[in-house]
């Protein structure tokens, strides 16, 4: 009998994650920062889309035509349902990579995304992906790929192997993968309690195991317990992708663009003396002990002139998608926590606090008398985008075309929130992607759509839904038992939502 799973965990559903790096709207600013020509993305493809949330939010919130495949039919079924709801026309399949790659009805693509799959599949499937990129990515097109990286995983890899072997050899098959994961973690803890020489040689393994315990078991099943699990060096990845004729462009993780967050002054000087840009990435991975890379690669990288780069950067529009008062002027990097300069960041944030899209050129002009230069504004834009506070903005033409699609998918997701908190995102036609909106906030939006005007009315509406299912709120780690306590907490959250979130959701056109 053929094993259609190819060793990949299939008896437990993947999480409903959203990954902003897959949003083609984020490519432009990252490549512009490197002085590279960027593509306009009209066709895109995601290989291994999981539940398909990212693909569908990006399809609904843009005019890009999306395609993709995921081998798990239940996940593909949900993704297809979302596509039908939005009407965005995403063509999503449940085929294995080798079968999908052979389809004759696929267009060539401006963007191909491979998130969270490369390290967890066989060499044969990786070869299929490389060949697909070689054949189907347009000249000038972008490949986004993420993968577990060495040296960051070197110390924990043996422990992962031990836990996977325990789940396979000693775990009871009939008890399901979650039970086997819990058993493997408990076994690993008991082993470390004996103070083995391995733990003494690798003192961070125990800390990593404790972090692992706190993760969702569905996530752990797909992250750690597949048959294939292959972290690799950046140079190995580059060698694999060389056959696809793509070149490394830059990190898709915006904070990596700012060396001061992750490298000491001494390390920056050392790295600057490395003449080969590809080897420089390998050296940098050692400096930060990189364990997960998110990168953009381009087929045929071309440099912009300095004039073209600056003019296009000045025309780049951004929007603040966080409540101004809640934006911390601290940021975390590999070196720990760092402070943003209040003299630079506070005026920029104050200017953008009305959540109206502005170009970097408009920001520069508005702050010219404050002595804040364009390079400082650009770095602030990169950093604040990396922390999730800013987002690139689409053209008004695209926003207007996508709005009906986002309205349909958002309405569906808000109704779905009545029964679960699985999906914590809605689609914005302004940013072309997903925006974090939790279950209660989605239900508050549903209450608004049904004509309830005040936060106290939204709270009563949500409590009706929860009470009918025997559900209660948890506050400060304690379940609220009394009805009045639950309603009071919901009212507090509804008022906060009205004060902070509604203006942002209106600006992002998630709410009309």
Residue 3 forms part of a structural domain: no
Considering the domain architecture, whether residues 66 and 214 belong to the same structural domain is answered as: no
pLDDT (average), residues 430-444: 97
Check residue 180 and give its pLDDT.
81
Check residue 167 and give its pLDDT.
78
Check residue 5 and give its pLDDT.
47
d(CA 200, CA 327): 40
d(CA 238, CA 233): 9
Does pLDDT of 334 surpass 90? no
Mean of pLDDT over the chain: 92
Considering the domain architecture, whether residues 220 and 268 belong to the same structural domain is answered as: no
Check residue 403 and give its pLDDT.
98
pLDDT in tens, 467-479: 999 999 999 889 9
Check residue 114 and give its pLDDT.
97
Check residue 185 and give its pLDDT.
86
Run of H or E including 435: strand 433-436
Does pLDDT of 497 surpass 80? yes
Check residue 174 and give its pLDDT.
52
Check residue 160 and give its pLDDT.
84
Residue 4 forms part of a structural domain: no
CB-CB contact of 90 with 59 (8 Å): yes
Does pLDDT of 104 surpass 60? yes
Residue 308 forms part of a structural domain: no
Considering the domain architecture, whether residues 402 and 387 belong to the same structural domain is answered as: no
87: tokens are: 């009407």
CATH number of the domain bearing residue 33: 3.40.50.150
Considering the domain architecture, whether residues 141 and 250 belong to the same structural domain is answered as: yes
Considering the domain architecture, whether residues 436 and 486 belong to the same structural domain is answered as: yes
Residue 141 forms part of a structural domain: yes
Which has the minimum average pLDDT: 209-213, 275-279, 396-400, 497-501? 209-213
Considering the domain architecture, whether residues 145 and 268 belong to the same structural domain is answered as: yes
Check residue 205 and give its pLDDT.
87
Contacts of 305 (CB under 8 A, 6+ apart): none
- Going from the C-alpha of 219 to that of each of 83, 304, 467, the distances in angstroms are 24, 41, 29
Does pLDDT of 281 surpass 60? yes
Check residue 207 and give its pLDDT.
87
pLDDT in tens, 157-202: 888 888 888 877 776 555 667 778 888 888 888 888 899 999 888 8
Does pLDDT of 149 surpass 70? yes
The domain of 287 spans 20-150+231-298
pLDDT (average), residues 304-328: 97
Instruction: Please report the sign of the dihedral spanned by the C-alpha atoms of residue 478, residue 483, residue 489, residue 490.
Output: positive
d(CA 69, CA 75): 10
Check residue 13 and give its pLDDT.
54
pLDDT (average), residues 407-424: 96
Please tell me which residue, 410 or 122, carries the higher pLDDT value: 410
Considering the domain architecture, whether residues 240 and 100 belong to the same structural domain is answered as: yes
Check residue 222 and give its pLDDT.
65
d(CA 223, CA 218): 9
Of 72, 8, 121, give the one whose Cα is nearest residue 80: 72
Check residue 228 and give its pLDDT.
73
Does pLDDT of 11 surpass 60? no
Residue 7 forms part of a structural domain: no
Considering the domain architecture, whether residues 350 and 281 belong to the same structural domain is answered as: no
In 193-211, which positions are buried (b, 16+ CB within 10 angstroms) versus exposed (e)? eeeeeebeebeebeeebee
Does pLDDT of 336 surpass 80? yes
pLDDT (average), residues 99-107: 97
- Going from the C-alpha of 362 to that of each of 314, 317, 336, 346, 357, the distances in angstroms are 8, 9, 33, 16, 10
CB-CB contact of 25 with 402 (8 Å): no
Say how many domains are in the chain.
4
Residue ending a domain, choose from 333, 367, 392: 392
pLDDT in tens, 384-399: 999 999 999 999 999 9
pLDDT (average), residues 251-275: 95
Of 170, 211, 208, 207, give the one whose Cα is nearest residue 187: 170
State pTM to two decimals: 0.90
Considering the domain architecture, whether residues 129 and 172 belong to the same structural domain is answered as: no
- Going from the C-alpha of 179 to that of each of 84, 159, 455, the distances in angstroms are 35, 18, 42
48: tokens are: 């291994």
CB-CB contact of 7 with 227 (8 Å): yes
Does pLDDT of 10 surpass 60? no
CB-CB contact of 293 with 118 (8 Å): no
Q: Residue by residue, what is the 3-state secondary structure of 322-350?
A: CCHHHCCCEEEECCEEEECCHHHHHHHHH
Please tell me which residue, 484 or 228, carries the higher pLDDT value: 484
Residue 74 forms part of a structural domain: yes
Considering the domain architecture, whether residues 362 and 294 belong to the same structural domain is answered as: no
Residue 306 forms part of a structural domain: no
Residue ending a domain, choose from 369, 392, 415: 392
Of 352, 323, 354, 324, give the one whose Cα is nearest residue 498: 323
pLDDT in tens, 205-251: 888 888 888 778 777 776 667 667 889 999 999 999 999 999 999 99
Residue ending a domain, choose from 192, 224, 256: 224
Considering the domain architecture, whether residues 176 and 272 belong to the same structural domain is answered as: no
Considering the domain architecture, whether residues 112 and 240 belong to the same structural domain is answered as: yes
Check residue 219 and give its pLDDT.
72
């Amino acid at each position: 009998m053929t094993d259609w799973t190819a060793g990949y965990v299939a008896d437990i559903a993947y999480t409903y994650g959203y990954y902003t790096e897959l949003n083609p709207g984020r490519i432009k600013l990252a490549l512009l920062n490197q002085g590279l020509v960027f593509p306009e993305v009209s066709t895109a493809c995601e290989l291994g889309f999981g539940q398909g949330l990212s693909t569908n939010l990006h399809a609904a919130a843009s005019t890009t035509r999306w395609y993709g495949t995921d081998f798990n039919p239940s996940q593909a079924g949900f993704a297809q349902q979302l596509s039908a709801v939005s009407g965005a026309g995403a063509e999503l399949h449940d085929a294995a990579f080798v079968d999908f790659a052979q389809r004759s009805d696929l267009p060539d693509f401006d963007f191909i995304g491979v998130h969270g799959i490369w390290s967890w599949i066989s060499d044969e499937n990786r070869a299929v992906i490389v060949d697909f990129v070689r054949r189907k990515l347009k000249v000038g097109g972008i490949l986004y790929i993420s993968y577990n990286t060495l040296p960051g995983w070197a110390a924990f890899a043996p422990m992962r192997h031990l836990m996977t072997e325990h789940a396979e050899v000693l775990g009871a098959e009939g008890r399901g993968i979650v039970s086997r994961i819990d058993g493997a973690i408990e076994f690993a803890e008991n082993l470390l309690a004996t103070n083995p020489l391995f733990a003494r040689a690798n003192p961070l393994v125990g800390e990593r195991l404790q972090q692992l315990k706190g993760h969702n078991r569905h996530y752990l099943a797909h992250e750690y317990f597949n048959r294939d699990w292959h972290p690799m060096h950046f140079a190995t990845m580059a060698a694999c992708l060389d056959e696809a004729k793509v070149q490394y462009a830059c990190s898709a993780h915006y904070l990596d663009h700012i060396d001061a967050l992750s490298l000491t002054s001494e390390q920056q000087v050392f790295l600057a003396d490395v003449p080969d840009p590809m080897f420089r990435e390998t050296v940098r991975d050692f400096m930060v002990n990189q364990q997960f890379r998110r990168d953009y690669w381009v087929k045929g990288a071309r440099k912009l002139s300095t004039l073209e780069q600056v003019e296009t950067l000045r025309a780049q529009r951004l929007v603040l998608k966080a409540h101004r008062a809640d934006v911390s002027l601290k940021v975390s990097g590999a070196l720990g926590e760092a402070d943003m300069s209040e003299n630079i960041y506070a005026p920029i944030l104050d200017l953008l606090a009305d959540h109206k899209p502005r170009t970097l050129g408009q920001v520069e002009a508005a702050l010219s008398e404050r002595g804040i230069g364009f390079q400082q504004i650009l770095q602030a834009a990169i950093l604040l985008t990396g922390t999730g506070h800013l987002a690139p903005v689409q053209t008004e033409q695209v926003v207007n075309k996508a709005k009906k699609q986002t309205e349909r998918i958002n309405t569906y997701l808000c109704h779905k929130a009545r029964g679960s908190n699985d999906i914590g995102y809605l689609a914005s036609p302004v940013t072309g992607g997903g925006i974090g909106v939790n279950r209660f906030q989605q239900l508050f939006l549903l209450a608004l759509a049904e004509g309830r005007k005040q936060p106290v009315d939204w709270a009563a509406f949500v409590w009706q839904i929860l009470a009918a299912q025997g559900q209660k709120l948890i506050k400060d780690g304690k379940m609220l038992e009394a009805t009045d306590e639950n309603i009071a907490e919901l009212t507090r959250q509804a008022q906060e939502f009205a004060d902070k979130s509604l203006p942002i959701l209106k600006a992002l056109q998630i709410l009309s």
